[in-house]
Structure formats: structure tokens, C-alpha cells
Amino acid sequence: MILTIGMIMKNEEKNLPLCLEGIKPILEAIPSELIIVDTGSTDNSVEIAKKYTDDVRYFEWCNDFSAARNVSLEGAKGEWYMFLDADEIFTDTSGIINFFKSGEYKKYNSATYVVRNYNDYEKTGYADFVAPRLTKILPHTKFEKSIHEGLNTYAFPLKNLDNAICDHFGYVLTDETAKNKCRRNLPLILNEHEKSPDDSMIYMQLVEAYKGIDEDEALRYCDEGIELNNRVPHYSAHMIYLHKAELLAKKKKYEEAISAIEDRENFKKRPDVDSIVGMDIDFYYTKAFIFVNMEKTAEAISAFREYSAFYKDFCLKGKYHTVDTMLGGIKYANPDSLANAMIAAVKCCIKENKMNSALDFLSSVPIKEKLSDSPYMALYIKTLIAVCRGLDNYSQIKRVYSSLSDDIKYIFCGYIGSYMSEHGADFAKEVLKLHISPDIDKALSIYINCEEKDLSENELVNSLKEIKALMERNEEVRALAKFAAENIKKKIDNKLRAPATDELSELAKIVKGNIRNLISSGNIAEAKLYLSQLKALCPMDNEIAVLENMIENSLH
């Protein structure tokens, strides 16, 4: 048998079916077995587990995760062992299956897959953890440590498996639930610390536990952990430095936070420490936003540029599969973080009047991944238009528009209208030159014509009708057309309120004709609006009563 899959569980009836269905392709594709250890479930977890395996074992909980997991290793028949948790759901197992079916596993001692820790159930943000979960089974293989346990025979050569991703929602917690989890874990971690006071990994875990319940104590352990790493460097130091910077930034001690990041840079320069680590991406992101909070925009731009470049190498080219990425989730190596960072970078560039740099940052926004995020796309479009105005070059608007979904195009057109309200026909002319779409061109042309020419009231009404027909025909341009329509209505209102008494009679005649046309076409609401304006203009006009009767009759 090639593989033994082991897991422990307690009261996981909600997650267990999805978890076990996720690993079913592995169990079916390669010679393997599944061993599940129950630590005291009182729900239907055991019954569910028995539908997927005949090997369900029982363990009396004793505050020791390794002891529980080691039960699944006892008598394991596989050459290799893989473990997971019951709330981890595989979305892709092809990398694991290919690793074993191809025989490639014979070249390695261990392997990793990606656990994607989501921030929420909508999957809008996540931290990828390169999980060291597969290893050869040797006679002395076992789990160690009562919490944050790991396999003692995990060793190089190591294979980072592609196309092996597991979704995890275990960190989607309320503030109180998160605190309770920290309080639960802390005694176990302190016990491990007492047994191994010079273990840097335990310092990192103490910082993470205290971070949720006592930030001052977390900072104390940061300093102790850093002091230990200055004597005996360990890759967990990177995470400790990052926690320190984040804690100080949260307390608005920005200068100290930047100092912590600089201290870590100096730590990396040591000859016995790796000069490039995957966690660099989190440091660049954190540093950039600290500078934003300090209103040091030039420094922030530089940090955002470092983040963007590292993101391309780390996420798009898969360049940095380093040991530190197996400590926990790399928080800012995802499209959501990139999108937020790039908009923040653009705002800094606008403040510094570096519009070309702003456009470069905008080009790095992962548009495809953000198309369904309407609030973000609204912010992106607004920012894009501001940058184009600063450059006096609007060509990017057409390029972006063509990539948008229909509902986002509606938002896009709304912002074009919003900018027209601020900058008038000159901006509309620049957009018209792009020829984005025939209907957008039509709406812009009508608006420009009404703005630049002294049209008669009748011409304005006809323009209004054209705009309304456009709104009914094309949902995408409705927001832009609505802006143009409101502008035309204001011009009509201004003409109706014109004080020239010698033109009053002729103007009233035109208005009455328009009211009749509106009644005939069924536009009663518009007819009522114009009638109210006629009453204000000529309150003694004999035809007012006649028109009121026509409106009343049209409603029956």
C-alpha cells in the first residue's frame, strides 16, 4: 500500500462529509487507506466517518494533539503518511494523485500541499499555508508536541505539490471565539515552552496566542524570541518580526514598527540566514501601509513597488517556495490583497503627482478576479478616471471598459457621468473621442450638444426623448444617460422660469403642446410635472383645467 491518510476529529458532522468527499479521489486513484481517530464526538461524526472507512479508532482526550494523531500511525500500512483536519476541504487533489501514480514520490522524503485559510465564507481574502503534511513512514515516525504538532521524520528532499489545494475556514471566527481559541491553546503552548525554552517555534506560537488576548505580553515574547534568534537564528524569526511590526502599528507606534522591519532586514543580512524568503511579501505589504498611515507617501510608493514586484515572482511565477512559508499563512499573497495595495499605491502617486507611476500600479490590479466585487470596481474606476485626467490621456478607459461585465459597465458609465458633472463638456469630448460604444457616443453627443448650444425648449424636449429611449434600450449606459437627462431637465426648467414676459405667451404655448404630447404617449408622470411648471408660469391660463381633465381621464 502506498499511502495512509490519517485524521483526528471531534464533533465535525458539519464539515466531515465535504472533507471526506474531497479526499475520495485520492483513495480511489491510488492504493491507500483512511484512518480516522475520534476524540470524543457527541454528534453524528462517527456515523459519517464509517461511511468512508472501516478503520475508525477512539482516543480519550488528554490535551495532547500528538498523542491523538499517533493513534492513526499505529499499524499504518502505507509507505507514506498524509494527515489533515476535518474542516479542510480539498478543491484539487490532482497534484497528490499524480505525485504517487507517476512514481515521482520515490525521489522524495516529504511533500507539501497548500492549505488556503480564508478570512470569510465568501472567500474574498485568504492566507496560503504551505502545509508539510506528507512524509515517508519510517520505523520511528511519530508526531511531536502537544499542540502545533508535526512529524519528526519530515525531511528533505521535499516536493511542493502543484494542483493540490485545500480550503480551510477554521479561522473564520468572531472576536470572542478567536479569544477563546487562544485561551484554550495557551496552556498547552506554555507547557511546551517550559520543556523547550530555547525553541524559537514555540516563541512564535506564544506570540500568536497572546496576540489575541494580551498584546503587551505578545510584544514581550516577540522581544524574547528575537533575542533568542540573534543567538541561534531560525526561520521562525521572520514571523516573530512581522508580528512585532503589526502589533506596534496597531498601537500607532509607527516609527517603532518600521524599526522592527529594518531590524529584520539586518537579520536577513547575516551569512547564516537566507537572504530571500517567501514572507518578504508580507513585510513589503505591511511596511507600505505603515508608511501610508505615517503620510510618508514617497516611502509608501517605494514599498508598494517592492510588494508588486515580489507578488509577481511569488504568486505568478511560483518562485519562492521557501521553508518559512511552512510556518503559517502568507497573508498578502492573494488577489484581494494585491488589489487593495495597488489602489492605495495609486492614491499615493496622485498625491505626489506621479501619474505614470499611478498608471503602472493600476495595470497590476487583478481585474479578472475583482470583476464581481462591485464596491471595489467602483473605487477602481473612479481612481482610473482621476489618473487619466491627470495624464490628459484617456486611452486606458476604453481598454478597461471592454473587459468589464455588464453590471460593472453600468457603474463605469455612472462615474463618467459623475466626472462630467464636475468637468462639463470638455471631459465628455475627451471620452467621446475614444468611441467606447455607439450608445455611449450617442449619450455624450446629446449632452455636449445641449451644453454648448442655446437650444429651444422644444429642441431640449426632443433631446430628452432621445436620451430616454437610449435608457430603455441599453441598461449599461443608463447611469450616464440619466445624468444627461437630468441636465436637460434643468435647462428646460430654467427656460420655463425665464422672466422675459414678451416671450411668456409663446413659451406657455410650447409647454401646453408638450403636455398634450406626453399625455397622448402615456407619459403621465412627465405630463404632471410640466403642468405644475405651467401653473407656476401662468397660473391664470384657461387651458390648465382642460389639461387637468385630460390627465384625469387618461388614468381611467
- Range(s) for CATH 3.90.550.10 in the chain? 1-172
- For residue 320, the model assigns a pLDDT of 61
pLDDT over threshold 90, residue 255: yes
- Give the mean model confidence (pLDDT) for residues 455-465: 86
Upstream peptide bond of 375 is cis (omega within 30 degrees of 0): no
For residue range 68-105, list pLDDT tens digits in order. Answer: 999 999 989 999 999 999 999 999 999 999 999 999 99
CATH class of residue range 1-172: alpha beta
Give residue 500's pLDDT: 45
Average pLDDT over residues 493-497: 69
- Mean pLDDT, to the nearest integer, of 28-47? 97
Among 200-209, 434-443, 521-530, the range scoring the smallest mean pLDDT is 521-530
Tens digits of residue pLDDT in 501-547: 445 676 777 788 888 888 888 888 888 888 887 777 677 777 888 88
Mean pLDDT (whole number) for 368-397: 86
Average pLDDT over every residue of 37-56: 97
Instruction: Look up the pTM and report it.
Output: 0.80
- Of the two residues 413 and 142, the one the predictor is more confident about is 142
What is the Cα–Cα distance from 306 to 322, expressed in whole angstroms? 18
Q: What is the mean pLDDT of the chain?
A: 90
401 against 13, higher pLDDT: 13
Retrieve residue 317's grid coordinates.
511565477
Average of per-residue pLDDT across 164-181: 86
Residue 162's pLDDT is: 87
pLDDT mean over 187-203: 95
Residues 39 and 68 sit within 8 Å (Cβ to Cβ)? yes
More confident residue, 190 or 401: 190
Q: Which residue has the higher pLDDT, 360 or 515?
A: 360
- Provide the grid cell at 552: 384625469
Q: What pLDDT shows up at residue 254?
A: 98
- Report, as an integer, the average pLDDT of 423-444: 91
Residue 483: which pLDDT band, with cuts at 50, 70 and 90?
Answer: confident
Collapsing DSSP states into helix, strand and coil, what is residue 51? coil
Long-range contacts formed by 461-470: CB under 8 A, 24+ apart: 461/492, 461/514, 463/488, 464/488, 464/489, 464/492, 466/442, 467/443, 470/439, 470/442, 470/443, 470/446
